[in-house]
């Protein structure tokens, strides 16, 4: 018996909550927080995704079959339904897919919601998808026999979908919401549609977070965006971009160089964070989403993480600077990076500056397009499901698809998508870190590093240089080379994580401080380039110097760093030089290395606002967990487990809804239940 329009229970506890297209469990995690109890039924055709869901949500009933094969009346036993959530496959709507052909069947998955509406009459229906879902329209067949959206009827099917909801007695509205505005360290923007038939008003959550420089944040009304830097484990070693068996492709190197310039060398406030052996200023480079390539500060939110980006969506880039010794060997004392470094003794060079950012490594780049990098204190970009597209370049985040110059780590992380393949650096999501940090460069064993505001660790007389200063940003590498985008700072949200894989890499640049025992500075020669900047970053110079001023190891990589910047930034570095120098905190520093690594799956899940307790590395064996598409009786946590591949982990992350968004939507649309419950008590 299907329910009619007049069937409207006021059951404050027993109404069912249904999670269609449940995936790895982001929606259910948020709904459970909001309702204070488990989701009742989760449905997905992917046995790996549903097994992850079952392990983390053991009190939910799981149906591993096509959403079209599920009988809503049978699975609910005709009980009243309070909420039906839909997150149909987005990749055949998403701009991250590019111009490839689309599938009518996949684009039509949202129609399953009408089946639940007709048969169970839920009080509320919520649908999540990419913002391009509003353009849902009929398809046409091109000359090659491929199906493509008909541009003349753009949005017509979406209008029909909304019209039918209203014909069933539902009020309908929709909004585009960003996860970083509700507390996730990712910029992930999605369309949310809410339909309800109980006469109560439709509601959408108000922002709780905003740009750190916004008036509301400065007034204390809203919290600042959480950043990609919160998600990144800076203790993980990142390889030098110059020491790889298989060299990086030209587009990735170009993104690293662009992100280095924007987020480290020319930044008035490079993001500096603690890391293994020191402090980092990373940025992010993005490697996916061809329409939106960039680098990012590490202190911004990460961008959307995509689920299908091959090779990873983001990487971290990290440049390293160390002190340049003069005619006498010198090593450094301990200082705040905001103050001149301590007196250098005759023992040798012991300081280095490293900077990190994220880059994306999942896509190629168009001619004339600028690379994406991202700073490490920004929210992570969108995570895609196909693989890790974020990598750490000791000091910025970079994407590995389309053009991306990285991003600062103090921004939100880019969107994480879900696709992946392991042929790119790190073999996972297309987000990576490029990072530069203040670190020990001698002694064996782990080094915890120190914050920029604290003194450097004790300097010994080993004559090898023991501290290095790292700056970080993100490089994004999943698209064409976009001239106006040099990544993101490490202090920004990460960009969107897509299901293809992480597009951000962390890039770190290491810088060694120049110490002169008197007079040699004039002998070095005229600077090739000078850049006046503000505040903490002073002058950048590329110079020719005798090799004796640096250790052999530092001198070799210093020349490689200078050559890299000369090749990809000819407008800034107009002549050949042996090194690139930066005037910082009253001293000159030499760029001596750049490291880059992909973001790990756990870092991407953090960007999506999953708790660290969420189990992602293993799942109950689906062959034992499901029988004929139905979960076997008993606790799924007791089923023998099997490892889950990195590719699958990233796919689940990129396909997931950020828990903070499903939680916020449920709270504002079911607030009356809480009021009634308090009144009854």
Q: Active-site residue numbers? A: 90
**Strand 372-376 with 405-410, pairing:** parallel
**Beta strand segments in 60-180, E:** 61-63, 81-86, 124-129, 139-141, 147-149, 171-178
Angle (CA) 185 189 190, round 5° = 130
* CA atoms of 336 and 587, how far apart (whole Å): 13
* CA atoms of 301 and 181, how far apart (whole Å): 10
* CA atoms of 607 and 227, how far apart (whole Å): 8
Instruction: Using alpha carbons, select from 324, 326, 342 the residue that is nearest to residue 334.
Output: 342
CB-based burial label for 145 (10 Å; 0-12, 13-18, 19+): exposed
* CA atoms of 672 and 12, how far apart (whole Å): 10
Q: DSSP assignment of 588-635, as one string?
A: EEEEEEEEEEEPPHHHHHHHTT--TTS--SEEE-HHHHEETTEEPSS-
Phi, psi angles (nearest 5°) of residue 572: -100, -35
> Any residues with CB less than 8 A from the CB of 89 and at least 6 apart, and which?
21, 106, 109
Q: b/e string for 205-238 if b means 16 or more Cβ within 10 A?
A: bebebbbbeeeebeeeebebbbbbbbbbebebeb
Residue 151 three-state SS: helix
CA distances 398 to 103, 143, 424, 538, 560, Å, are 31, 37, 13, 25, 20
CA 364 to chain centre: 18
């Amino acid at each position: 018996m299907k329910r009619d329009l007049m069937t409207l229970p006021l059951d404050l506890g027993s109404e069912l909550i249904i999670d269609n297209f449940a995936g790895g469990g982001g929606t259910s995690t948020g709904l459970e927080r909001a309702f204070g109890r488990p989701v009742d039924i989760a449905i997905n055709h992917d046995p790996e995704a549903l097994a992850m869901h079952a392990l983390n949500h053991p009190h939910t009933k799981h149906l591993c079959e096509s959403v079209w094969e599920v009988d809503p009346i049978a699975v609910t036993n005709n009980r009243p339904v309070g909420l039906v959530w839909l997150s149909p496959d987005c990749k055949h709507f998403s701009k991250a897919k590019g111009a490839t052909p689309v599938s009518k069947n996949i684009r039509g998955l949202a129609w399953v919601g009408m089946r639940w509406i007709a048969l169970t009459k839920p009080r509320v229906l919520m649908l999540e998808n990419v913002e391009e879902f509003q353009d849902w329209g009929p398809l046409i067949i091109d000359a090659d026999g491929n199906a493509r959206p008909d541009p003349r009827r753009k949005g017509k099917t979406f209008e029909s979908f909304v019209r039918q909801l209203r014909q069933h007695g539902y009020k309908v509205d929709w909004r585009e919401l960003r996860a970083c505005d509700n507390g996730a360290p990712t910029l992930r923007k999605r369309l949310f549609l809410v339909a309800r038939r109980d006469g109560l008003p439709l509601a959408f959550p108000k922002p709780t977070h905003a740009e750190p420089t916004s008036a509301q944040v400065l007034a204390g009304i809203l919290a600042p965006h959480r950043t990609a830097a919160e998600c990144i484990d800076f203790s993980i070693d990142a390889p030098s971009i110059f020491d790889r068996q298989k060299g990086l492709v030209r587009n990735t190197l170009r993104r690293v160089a662009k992100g280095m310039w924007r987020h480290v060398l020319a930044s008035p406030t490079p993001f500096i964070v603690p890391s293994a052996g020191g402090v980092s200023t990373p940025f992010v480079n993005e490697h996916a989403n061809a329409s939106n390539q960039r680098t990012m500060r590490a202190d911004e939110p990460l961008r959307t993480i995509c689920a299908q980006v091959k090779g990873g969506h983001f990487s971290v880039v990290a440049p390293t600077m160390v002190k340049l010794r003069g005619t006498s060997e010198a090593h450094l004392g301990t200082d705040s990076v905001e103050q001149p470094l301590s007196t250098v003794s005759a023992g040798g060079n012991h300081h280095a500056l490293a900077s990190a950012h994220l880059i994306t490594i999942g896509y190629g780049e168009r001619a004339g397009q600028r690379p994406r990098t991202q700073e490490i204190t920004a929210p992570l970009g969108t995570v895609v499901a196909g693989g890790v597209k974020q990598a750490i370049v000791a000091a910025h985040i970079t994407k590995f698809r389309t053009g991306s110059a990285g991003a600062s780590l103090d921004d939100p992380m880019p969107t994480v998508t879900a696709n992946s393949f392991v042929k790119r650096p790190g073999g996972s999501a297309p987000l990576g870190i490029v990072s530069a940090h203040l670190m020990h460069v001698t002694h064996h064993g782990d080094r915890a590093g120190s914050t920029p505001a604290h003194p450097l660790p004790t300097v010994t007389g080993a004559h090898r240089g023991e501290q290095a200063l790292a700056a970080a940003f993100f490089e994004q590498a999943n698209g064409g080379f976009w001239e106006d985008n040099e990544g993101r700072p490490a202090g920004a949200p990460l960009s969107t994580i897509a299901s293809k894989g992480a597009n951000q890499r962390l890039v770190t640049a290491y810088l060694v401080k120049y110490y002169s025992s008197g007079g040699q500075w004039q002998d070095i020669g005229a600077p090739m380039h000078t850049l006046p900047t503000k505040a903490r970053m002073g002058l950048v110079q590329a110079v020719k110097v005798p090799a004796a001023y640096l250790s052999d190891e530092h001198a070799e990589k210093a020349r490689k760093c200078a050559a890299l910047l000369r090749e990809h930034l000819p407008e800034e570095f107009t002549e050949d030089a042996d090194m690139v120098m930066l005037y910082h905190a009253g001293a000159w520093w030499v760029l001596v290395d750049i490291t880059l690594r992909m973001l790990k799956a756990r870092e991407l899940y953090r960007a999506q606002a999953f708790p660290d307790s969420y189990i992602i590395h293993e799942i109950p064996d689906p062959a034992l967990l499901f029988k004929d598409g139905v979960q076997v009786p008993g606790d799924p946590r007791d089923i023998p487990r099997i490892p889950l591949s990195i590719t699958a982990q990233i796919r689940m992350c990129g396909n997931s809804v950020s828990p903070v968004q499903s939680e916020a939507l449920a709270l504002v649309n079911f607030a009356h239940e809480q009021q009634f419950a308090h009144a009854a008590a």
